[in-house]
């Protein structure tokens, strides 16, 4: 199956999905979202042997809603990250003796943050907000310590 041709055929659908999700052409991340939609579509189309079977199994309304919900999921994830990263960076105090230590510290933290699952990211935010009970914060700290050990082990 020629997936590239199929992607070109459905290009209008991608733009409509983004418009419905509130991501317009003037949006700073429009091209990123458009590329994500194309990737999602490509992954879905790869599991079919030919174009006919793809079109039968994925009528336009179903495909529209499938892509729309995935874009909404991406937006939610991006919103959570945008809210959490400034809070997280404010919580950490890197050594200020040399500027390159600050940069290395921030880069290491961002790599660790991206490795965390959504659940672990929320644990981090709740742990540092101090709005949870001592028992919950203890549980979060233990879970995050395990995640840190996995991260350090992968380095």
Percent of the chain topping pLDDT 90: 45
DSSP state of 25: T
Q: Report whether 91 contacts 128 (CB < 8 A).
A: yes
> Which tens digits make up the pLDDT trace of 83-139?
777 766 666 555 555 566 666 777 888 888 888 898 998 888 888 887 788 888 889
Place 56 in a pLDDT band, splitting at 50, 70 and 90.
Answer: very high
Classify each residue of 109-138 as buried b or exposed e, where b means 16 or more C-beta atoms within 10 Å of its C-beta. Answer: beebbeebeeebbebbbebbeeeeeeeebe
Place 79 in a pLDDT band, splitting at 50, 70 and 90.
Answer: confident
Q: Residue 152 pLDDT more than 80?
A: yes
């Amino acid at each position: 199956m020629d997936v590239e041709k199929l992607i070109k055929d459905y290009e209008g659908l991608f733009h409509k999905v983004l418009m419905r999700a509130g991501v317009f052409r003037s949006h700073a991340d429009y091209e990123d979202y458009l590329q994500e939609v194309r990737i999602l579509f490509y992954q879905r189309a790869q599991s079919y042997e030919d174009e006919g079977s793809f079109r039968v199994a994925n009528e336009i309304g179903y495909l529209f809603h499938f892509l729309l919900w995935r874009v909404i999921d991406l937006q939610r994830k991006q919103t959570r990250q945008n809210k959490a990263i400034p809070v997280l960076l404010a919580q950490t105090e890197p050594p200020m003796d040399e500027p390159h230590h600050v940069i290395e510290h921030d880069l290491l933290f961002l790599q660790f943050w991206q490795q965390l699952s959504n659940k672990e990211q929320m644990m981090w935010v709740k742990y540092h907000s101090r709005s949870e009970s001592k028992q919950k914060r203890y549980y979060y700290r233990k879970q995050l310590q395990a995640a840190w050990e996995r991260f350090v082990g992968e380095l």
